[in-house]
Homo-oligomer: A and B are copies of this chain.
Amino acid sequence: MKDVRLLESAFAPGEAIERFAQGHPDAGGVVSFAGQVRAADGCEALELSHYAPLTLPGMDALADEALARWPLDGVMVVHRSGLMLPGETIVLVAAAARHRRDAFHAADFLMDHLKSDAWFWKREKRAGQWHWVEPREADYSDLARWK
């Protein structure tokens, strides 16, 4: 029903999606979003820090909110922390539902909140220098759609 995890090491998103889909045999469809460290733009590495007393409880409450808003069979929220290299998966969300539109909305909702309303801090290494990343304006307006 609800699978929320904060991982310190690399994971395979496809495997997690497949296990999630198989775990919800009564759902007609599963929508997923996987965000990965982009190889473009000269990003050499990415580091995500978090604050343990807030981060996982916040992810858990977010998953509950998605379950309360749409008729879903289940949701999955998996977020990496620590050091990541290009190609590694940063975040994976999935929603299983009888009707696909509910699953699309829920996955979209989860991502908008993880991007700019979850307790993570992201920095990127470019040309050997670390730079803190803050949400784009579009991330804040994406989030505002759900208020």
Contacts and interface: CB of A to CB of B under 8 A. Distances in A.
Interface of A: 12-19, 21-22, 25-36, 38-40, 86-87, 89, 98-101, 103-104, 107-108, 111, 138, 142
A30 B36 contact: yes
B21 A18 contact: no
A22 B108 contact: no
Contacts of A14: 13-19, 21
Given A13-B17, A21-B13, A21-B14, A34 B29 contact: yes
**How many copies of the polypeptide does the oligomer hold?**
2
Contact of A18 (B13, B26, B27): B13
Nearest to A18: B14
Nearest to A38: B28
Nearest to A30: B34
A17 B29 contact: no
A111 B99 CA distance: 12
